[in-house]
Amino acid sequence: MNISDRVMVLASATEARYEERVGIREKRLKEANKGNIWAADDPERVAKRLAHVRTTEGAMVAPATMLRELAPSPDHADTETLVAQLAQERVIGRDDLVTPQFLQLALAASRCVGRITVRGASGALLGYGTGMLVGPGILLTNHHVLERAADAVQSEVTFGFETNTTLPSEERVFRLVPQKLFITDEALDFTFVAVSPADTRGQPGADLGYICLNPQEGKAINGEFVNVIQHPNGGPKMFALRENRIVDVLTNYLQYAADTAPGSSGAPVFNDQFEMVALHHSGVPERDAQGRILNRDGQPWTSDQGEARVHWKANEGVRVSVLVERAKGLARTSEEQAQLAQAFDLSRAIPQLEAAGPSRQVAGDVASAARQPAIEGDVATWTIPLSVSVRLGGLSGQAVPSGGAAISAVPPALPSPPAPVTPETSPELMRAVGRARDAFRTIPGLLRIRAGWQFTDGWITDQAAIVAIVEEKKTTATLGEQGIPKLPTTFEGFPVDVRQASAEELYELSRLDGGAVFTERTATPVYQKPPNLSLPRVKERMKVLVHVSPEQGWPVLDAFLQQTNTKLTVGMYDFGAPHIVDAIATRLEAKSATLELVIQYGSSVGTGTKAGDTDDAETVRTLKGALGNNFEMQWANVGQTGSLWASAYHIKVAVRDSRAFWLSSGNWQSSNQPPDAPPADDASAKALLTNYNREWHVVINNPTLAGIFESYLQYDFEQSSGFVPKGAEQAYEILPPLEPDPRETAAEIRTFDPLEIDREVDVQPVLTPDNYIQVVLPLIEGAKSRIYLQNQYINESLDPRAEQTYIPLLEAIARKQQEGLDVRIILRAENGVEARHIEFMKTHGIDMGRVRWRNRTHTKGIIVDSARVLLGSHNWSYDGTVLNRDASLLFYDAEIARYLEGIFIYDWENWSKTKVYIRPGKPKVQEIASPEEQAALRVAVDQGEVRARRLFHPDD
């Protein structure tokens, strides 16, 4: 798709925004034509504009309508009355005459504006656009002009292309350098890209100057005229001076209209002080009675004529104040932030054009003149140098104080609120979503309409969209055959992204009333922190054995279990690995030791490496048979009304003889603890790494820490006494066999021996629901250089309580990315990921370009600054970080952090991929209603015909 084609795609969204506000726009323009600017625009925006004109030093030309509040109040009269007098008595004209200073500013600004020649990776010409220098070596244009860094590598910008007869020697061509800076945003249609410091002849480009971007609001309001400098259709530079008039100010855009002056992609839009107020990107085409787009001759337009030949009845640009806020959020590294800061430096804002503007002495003289009106009778006249006369009742004979005091009723310019950068904070999109719900509510099979992000080619983009969740996504032909209306591709200017419902959503729909679908499956727990227990930070001498699965999980756990003499206290989510069950039964029986177990009822059908595992109930029967009265257990009080924990007793901790303990990210299942570890050679190591989970574990010999965890496990045991679990839901998504992953096939094979420490160690115990947020949020916020996070998932939460607990964790990660820290995230991949979870991360600021996906990662760890590391069982979800029972440890220890950091980097570089597939097609969901059905599913899994993922099971 060439640039003109992209413009016409954008035009449909612009046209929808334009047509939606016809009534508002006409009413406000009518007021603007009468000179009533308070009714022509939002009063707060008007106040900001007036304050901005008053305080912008060196303003060369100000629109007549902007000066009405600058008259001094000689007797401090009631301000409301005076404002009313001004509104009634002023004589405000629309003067198209301009001064030499105005033209000097226009010419100075034009030196920074160039023609962009866009070429693909092969060097093929893709089209032309306009761009401008906005900082030393920084070019700004539209995203639809430069969508990808790969295109920018072959592209160039030409300055000085003024007429068709311009000599080549007068043109200056600069290469683009996206390797140094490339920040783009599809939703707001802008791209910042670095420019080579010298042109193709070796001449430095500093003399061109640049246009600084003023991020403050108050640069333009409805009714003002704006100026556009551009290269239409890639042709010579053209000026449209005071031909476009602002007709509407939207949250993210300015819309401006003219009879004769179109805009060009990437052109700067200036106010009369030549501050850039918008980045031109699209327009509203004129159409004939048949709905055909017309050209500037009144004839039907065709695509070969180019965008400049369209009869645009209105133009649209992205507001600079919004663009700046968004760009700040996209700058990841300190270098990017420093480069953009020069473009956003208020001290350099127009009208001071770097290296090219008129002298500051001239600007100062003009500003001084503007502050001191000449008064004759009841008329005050400002010369700026455009003379504007305003009649003020009751001013005769009054002296004017030096400096021209402004009316005190005008509120000061307020700080600009953060620009909307997510679908949920875009008022336009949310209104469109509401109307889409009304418009489409009767379409069969439509489950939900919400705001979200558009996915293209299976991956998330920066384009906000209306997301339609359907029971089954069907082809156009099938919809026609069944008489079902097809959802439009766009609605009110936003793309409509039709999505297949997930297995969880479909299962809920089959069991619940429609109003209950898409709600959080979270019981309200009644857990109370133990009154006599606490989780103090411990700094003592201890033996620590840090190790990982698959290569060292079972050998270390086996040795730990063998040393049990009197008692083993265990809190576990899933426990069905036969080799672990047999080891515990045999060793504890031999020593007459006791086992106290708290476990959640119900486990999933074994799949893959878990195919031979037993369910939890069978494990309990086996242990009871072997240990008799030396075995005590309780089903964890979870998942029901009045339960202690919301949805999972997800802990993985075992305390031995009150002196040592094992803590892990993984359960006691074969997938977490492969029985044939450690590997004997590279071939067996590759088999382990390919087929079993990555887990982080630790064994600590320290009575203080062991006593803390044992006390909490005993509390859980007591609080769960008498709990009778309901039959666990046995619903599965049936998945196809996992195809070999090329990245895993080619991965470097490396295994890691355990890290053994015997010295003083500083460590903080972490439990939910007790203290996870209180410990982990400061850990993230305190990061100075890097954060490496590896987890099974980061899941969406719909619970409003998450806004104060779980979501701040994501936002803290996003802030650190924006501050330029090295932030990397590895998540699990082999079962695919629901699009809504990816959207959730992006909506809360996570840079998805720094997320990778690893099959069978089950680790739940965070490494900060190579000096602190958290490991344990906490998945990142609202339940996992706030409401369930989970356990982790935070080590303030550089040696432990660096050991696990090395393993993280190995996984990042060798076993992780940059994208994960979004589960395609209508999910196949099977609910198990009998032992026979469960046995049949197990057989199908054992034979490799299918995989089975248990729904609502945090470890599947």
Confidence of residue 416 (pLDDT cuts 50, 70, 90): very low
- Which of the given ranges, 248-262, 402-416, 736-750, 881-895, has the highest pLDDT on average? 881-895
Which pLDDT score is estimated for 377? Answer: 44
Distance between first and last Cα of the chain:
42
Cβ pair 806, 795 in contact under 8 A: no
Q: What are phi and psi of 126, to 5 degrees?
A: -100, -20
Number of structural domains the chain divides into? 6
**Structural domain contains residue 767:** yes
pLDDT tens by residue, 235-247: 888 888 887 889 8
Residue 102 has pLDDT above 90, yes or no: no
Q: Tell me, yes or no, whether 407 lies in a domain.
A: no
- What confidence tens digit (pLDDT) does each residue in 107-117 have? 888 989 999 98
Tokens representing 696 are 């982080």
**Phi and psi angles of residue 607, each rounded to the nearest 5 degrees, phi first:** -125, 145
pLDDT of amino acid 56: 52
pLDDT of amino acid 422? 66
Residue 355 lies in a domain: no
Which of 590-594, 883-887, 937-941 is predicted least confidently? 937-941
Higher pLDDT, 729 or 738: 738
- Other beta carbons within 10 angstroms of residue 181's beta carbon come to 23
Are the CB atoms for 216 and 413 separated by under 8 Å?
yes
* Composition of the chain by helix, strand, coil, percent to 5: 35, 25, 40
Q: Where are the beta strands (DSSP E) in 428-505?
A: 446-456, 459-470, 490-491, 494-500
Q: Identify the pLDDT of residue 276.
A: 92
Least confident residue range of 88-92, 430-434, 437-441, 731-735:
88-92
The verdict on 79 and 171 lying in the same domain is: no
- Pull the structure tokens for residue 765: 């115990």
**In this model, does residue 216 exceed pLDDT 50?**
yes
Quickly state the pLDDT bin for 859 (edges 50, 70, 90).
Answer: very high
Note the pLDDT of residue 515: 37
SS3 category, 197:
coil
Where are the extended beta strands (E) located within 562-693?
567-572, 594-599, 631-635, 652-656, 660-664
Q: The domain that contains 453 carries what CATH number?
A: 3.30.70
d(CA 574, CA 614): 10
Reference 886, options 901, 902, 875; nearest CA is 875
pLDDT at 74: 33
Is the pLDDT at 738 greater than 60, yes or no?
yes
Same domain, 574 and 703: yes
In angstroms, the CA 821 to CA 856 distance is 27
Query: Are 180 and 84 contained in the same domain?
Result: no
Provide mean pLDDT across the span 491-509.
Answer: 83
What pLDDT, on the 0 to 100 scale, is given for residue 257?
84
Same domain assignment for residues 664 and 750: no
Weakest-pLDDT range from 480-489, 610-619, 781-790: 610-619
Residues linked to residue 729 through DSSP beta bridges, in sequence order: none
Question: CB neighbours of 891 closer than 8 A, spacing ≥ 6?
Answer: 761, 762, 763, 868, 869, 870, 871, 897
Q: Which of 9-23, 360-374, 455-469, 526-540 has the lowest mean pLDDT?
A: 360-374
Q: What is the mean pLDDT of residues 80-100?
A: 41
Quick check: 36 pLDDT over 70? yes
Same domain? 343 vs 368: no
Strand order in the sheet with 446-456: 446-456, 459-470, 494-500, 490-491
Same domain? 198 vs 119: yes
Structure confidence at residue 405 as a pLDDT band (50, 70, 90): very low
* Least confidently predicted of 132-141, 241-250, 401-410: 401-410
Are residues 588 and 469 part of one domain?
no
Q: For residues 435-447, give the mean pLDDT.
A: 87
C-alpha distances in Å from residue 211, one per residue of 108, 614, 658, 758, 939: 9, 69, 69, 61, 69
Residue 654 pLDDT > 50: yes
Residue 704 above 70 pLDDT? yes
Q: Are residues 611 and 566 in the same domain?
A: yes
Kindly report which listed range (337-341, 635-639, 684-688) carries the lowest average pLDDT score. 337-341
User: What pLDDT score was predicted for residue 49?
Assistant: 77
Domain identity same for 698 and 798: no
Which one has a higher pLDDT value, 191 or 915? 191
Over the chain, what is the mean pLDDT? Answer: 80
Is residue 272's pLDDT more than 80?
A: yes
Q: Are residues 832 and 784 in the same domain?
A: yes
User: Do 232 and 262 form a contact (C-beta atoms < 8 A)?
Assistant: yes
pLDDT at 89 over 60: no
Say what the pLDDT of residue 123 is. Answer: 64
Please report which residue ranges of 604-731 form alpha helices under DSSP H.
Answer: 616-627, 682-691, 703-719
**Residue among 682, 751, 746, 785 at smallest CA distance from 912:** 746
pLDDT score at 793: 92
Q: Is residue 414 part of a domain?
A: no
Does residue 615 surpass a pLDDT of 80?
yes
Q: What is the pLDDT of residue 203?
A: 84
- The strand order across the sheet containing 924-927 reads 924-927, 731-735, 947-950
Tell me: cis bond preceding 415? Omega within 30 of 0 counts: no
Closest among 682, 675, 696 to 890, alpha carbons compared: 696
Max mean pLDDT among 31-40, 204-213, 647-656 falls in 647-656
**Residue 701 in this model has a pLDDT that exceeds 70:** yes
pLDDT score for 742: 77
pLDDT over 90 (residue 857): yes
Q: Is residue 440 part of a domain?
A: yes
Category of 58 on φ-ψ map: left (φ > 0), alpha (ψ -120 to 50) or beta: left
The pLDDT of 760-764, averaged and rounded, is: 98
Give the containing element (helix H, strand E) for 947: strand 947-950
Is 0.85 surpassed by the pTM of this model?
A: no
Residue 731, pLDDT score: 78
Average pLDDT over every residue of 72-87: 34
Phi-psi region of 171 (alpha: psi -120 to 50; beta: other; left: phi over 0): beta
Percentage of the chain modeled with pLDDT above 70 = 79
Least confident stretch, 88-92, 629-633, 858-862, 945-949: 88-92
When mean pLDDT is compared across 112-116, 745-749, 797-801, 808-812, the lowest value belongs to 797-801
pLDDT at residue 892 above 90? yes
pLDDT at residue 98, as a whole number: 66
* Paired strand residues for 888: 766, 872
Kindly report the number of other CB atoms within 10 A of residue 402's CB atom: 10
Q: What are phi and psi of 298, to 5 degrees?
A: 80, 10
Reply yes or no on whether the pLDDT at 71 is more than 70: no
Confidence band, pLDDT 50/70/90 cuts, at residue 75: very low
Residues 874 and 824 in one domain: yes
Residues 486 and 602 in one domain: no
Q: Structural domain of residue 156, as residue ranges?
A: 113-212+325-348
Predicted pLDDT of residue 908? 95
Domain membership flag for residue 926: no
Cα distance between residue 826 and residue 570, in whole Å: 29
CB 264 within 8 A of CB 130: yes
* Mean pLDDT of the 202-218 span: 84
CA distance linking residue 762 with residue 152, whole number of Å:
50
SS3 of residue 728 by DSSP: coil
Q: Is residue 158 part of a domain?
A: yes
Residue 521 within any structural domain of the chain: no
pLDDT band at 786 (very low <50, low <70, confident <90, very high): very high
Residue 921, class by beta-carbon neighbours within 10 Å (0-12 exposed, 13-18 middle, 19+ buried)? exposed
The domain spanning residue 124 has which CATH number?
2.40.10.10
Of the candidates 397, 383, 496, which has an alpha carbon nearest to the alpha carbon of residue 439?
Answer: 496
Task: Tell me how far apart the alpha carbons of residues 762 and 891 are, in angstroms, rounded to a whole number.
Answer: 6
